[in-house]
Chain A
Amino acid sequence: MVQKLDYLRESPSQTAGPYVHIGCTPNFTGIGIYGGDLGTAMKTGPVQGQEIVIKGTVFDGTGTPLRDAMIEIWQPDAAGLFASANETRGTPDPNFTGWGRSPGDMETGEFIFDTVKPGAVPMPDGRMQAPHITAWIVARGINIGLHTRIYFEDEAEANAKDPLLSGIEHQNRVPTLLARKEGEGQYRFDIHLQGPDETIFLDI
């Protein structure tokens, strides 16, 4: 016998179900409460850096848009600083929360984030990562929330050196992590849960 490791086990995940919006964006479902839904506005005043809009849709394995998903994004400000208690490298933009939550459009499922282009953030070992946004997707039928990252197709030089992107075995799948530029400050990032265009999801 050996001594016992007395760590706890992470609570098992369960699906967010079809009614996640009641809990997380109640005003969106018509339950007027809390004085508004959290994560609706990422800007609380004039922000530093380039303002951008990211639109996208989550598709299932048949190509059908999900209309009951919830997408959250988390990112640093234009200088690469997070509005987090764990940020020790400097003072982030006071008018930028870095966190957005979208229930998607009730009819089309399209989500929209009105945000800023994130600055680059280093790895713990000091290597620089390309600018990216962390994304998390939950919905009915998804047993555990899916993590992915939104990189930018117009950051080719930084992307080429990014430790995560450059380490991907199937380089032909890298475009699934790139937001496509549709205009000045306009990007599209569709998420495919399954199929030939399946988005790369992270165990992170």
Chain B
Amino acid sequence: MSTGPKTGGFVPRDRGWQPDALTPPYKTSVKRSPQAALLSFPTTLSEETSPVFGHGILGELDNDLILNFAQPGQSAIGPRIIVHGRVLDEMGRPVPGALLEFWQANAGGRYRHKKEKYQAALDPNFGGCGRTITGEDGSYEFRTVMPGPYPWPNGMNDWRPAHIHFSVFGHGFAQRLITQMYFEGDPLIPLCPIVGVLKSQEAIDQLTAPLDMHRTVPMDARAYKFDIVLRGRRQNYFENRVEGL
């Protein structure tokens, strides 16, 4: 019998920290936001388990957006950057084996999507998506081009700051998260209604990646560092005792 710590449920999501469902300046949220209170319930195995994605699913260029859609001998146009960081949980423990999927506009701010209306040009060598799986220490990295800002229909003149979308799988479905990474120094950040759903400057800062000269490859690619934190899981010796004992 194991003498190690028993594993408990996930720490409840801090709803005072996470954005609300209804955020009228982001207009689409108005008719897509639940109005009844969420039903709070402790996590069970249904949320404490999660699908497993092995490194075997990854292709060699999955984490290289500069090359993964490019014709042989070609590469995507735009400022070359490396994005790296770690996936941790709220207790500061690394989350190894986490599947990260990311997507973004090209350097001109254009997405490769049939519903996209922006006049900026497509880059024939840029698809805009990539994926990777974190290592034993929770670390990940990928290479891409700096995405451009772009206008979007919300207010009469709203522009998204440059950003990269992230989808993250941890070790439990309760940790499932989609978020966006912004870039240090972007003047559009404080103007954006989607950034505006975040409740504090601290929350905005947590999604803003700093320039990281230590990981910049000289004469090749700048680097930005972006750590991601998933919900933590209790690890208490006294957890999970049969009721009444």
Which residues of A are at the interface with B, using a C-beta cutoff of 8 A? 6-24, 26, 29-31, 33-35, 38, 60-62, 64, 66, 68, 72, 74-76, 82-87, 97-99, 121-126, 129, 132, 134, 136, 138-147, 149, 164, 167-168, 173, 193-194, 198-204
Chain B 127-148 per-residue mask, 1 if CB under 8 angstroms from chain A, else 0: 1110100000000000000000
* A24 CB to nearest chain B CB (Å): 6
For A14, give its contact among B35, B69, B179 (CB under 8 Å): B179
**Contact: A74 with B31, CB < 8 Å?**
no
Would you mind naming 12 contact pairs between A and B with Cβ atoms under 8 Å apart? A9-B14, A9-B17, A14-B179, A15-B180, A23-B167, A26-B103, A31-B69, A60-B31, A76-B45, A85-B52, A141-B30, A142-B33
For B34, give its contact among A6, A9, A138, A198 (CB under 8 Å): A198
Q: Which residues of B contact A173 (CB under 8 A)?
A: 36
**Contact: A97 with B34, CB < 8 Å?**
no
- Please, how many angstroms separate the alpha-carbon atoms of A62 and B33 in the complex? 11
Most buried by B among A8, A12, A199: A12
**Contact: B39 with A200, CB < 8 Å?**
yes
For B32, give its contact among A87, A139, A167, A204 (CB under 8 Å): A139
Tell me whether A34 and B131 are in contact in the complex, defined as CB-CB below 8 angstroms, given that A86-B171, A140-B28 are known contacts. yes
Chain B 114-135 per-residue mask, 1 if CB under 8 angstroms from chain A, else 0: 1110000000000111010000
Q: Which residues of A contact B17 (CB under 8 A)?
A: 9-10, 12
Nearest residue in B to A143 (C-beta to C-beta)?
B19
Q: Which residues of B contact A38 (CB under 8 A)?
A: 53, 57
**Contact: B12 with A203, CB < 8 Å?**
yes
Q: Which residues of B contact A82 (CB under 8 A)?
A: 45, 49
B72 at the interface (CB under 8 A from A): no
B92 at the interface (CB under 8 A from A): yes
B212 at the interface (CB under 8 A from A): no
- Please, how many angstroms separate the alpha-carbon atoms of A132 and B176 in the complex? 18
Query: What is the predominant secondary structure among interface residues of chain B facing chain A?
Result: loop
Tell me how many residues of B have a C-beta within 8 Å of chain A: 89
Nearest residue in A to B61 (C-beta to C-beta)?
A33
**Contact: A141 with B28, CB < 8 Å?**
yes
**Contact: A62 with B18, CB < 8 Å?**
no
- Please, how many angstroms separate the alpha-carbon atoms of A164 and B43 in the complex? 11
Nearest residue in B to A125 (C-beta to C-beta)?
B243
Q: Which residues of A contact B77 (CB under 8 A)?
A: none
B156 at the interface (CB under 8 A from A): no
| Segment 46-83 of B: residues with Cβ below 8 Å from A | 46-53, 57, 59, 62, 68-69
Nearest residue in B to A66 (C-beta to C-beta)?
B32
Q: Which residues of B contact A99 (CB under 8 A)?
A: 51
Nearest residue in B to A100 (C-beta to C-beta)?
B51
**Contact: B176 with A145, CB < 8 Å?**
yes
| Segment 190-210 of B: residues with Cβ below 8 Å from A | 194-195, 197-198, 202-203, 206-207
**Contact: A11 with B127, CB < 8 Å?**
no
For B178, give its contact among A26, A145, A198 (CB under 8 Å): A145
B21 at the interface (CB under 8 A from A): yes
* A167 CB to nearest chain B CB (Å): 8
**Contact: B129 with A33, CB < 8 Å?**
yes
**Contact: A202 with B19, CB < 8 Å?**
no
**Contact: B127 with A143, CB < 8 Å?**
no
- Please, how many angstroms separate the alpha-carbon atoms of A6 and B97 in the complex? 24
Shortest 5 CB-CB contacts between residues of A and residues of B = A23-B103, A141-B28, A84-B49, A141-B32, A99-B51
**Contact: A24 with B101, CB < 8 Å?**
yes
Tell me whether A201 and B103 are in contact in the complex, defined as CB-CB below 8 angstroms, given that A9-B229, A121-B44 are known contacts. no
Known: A30-B112, A87-B49, A201-B38. 14 other contacts (CB 8 A): A11-B179, A11-B228, A19-B103, A22-B129, A26-B103, A34-B59, A60-B31, A141-B26, A143-B197, A144-B21, A193-B34, A199-B34, A202-B39, A204-B42
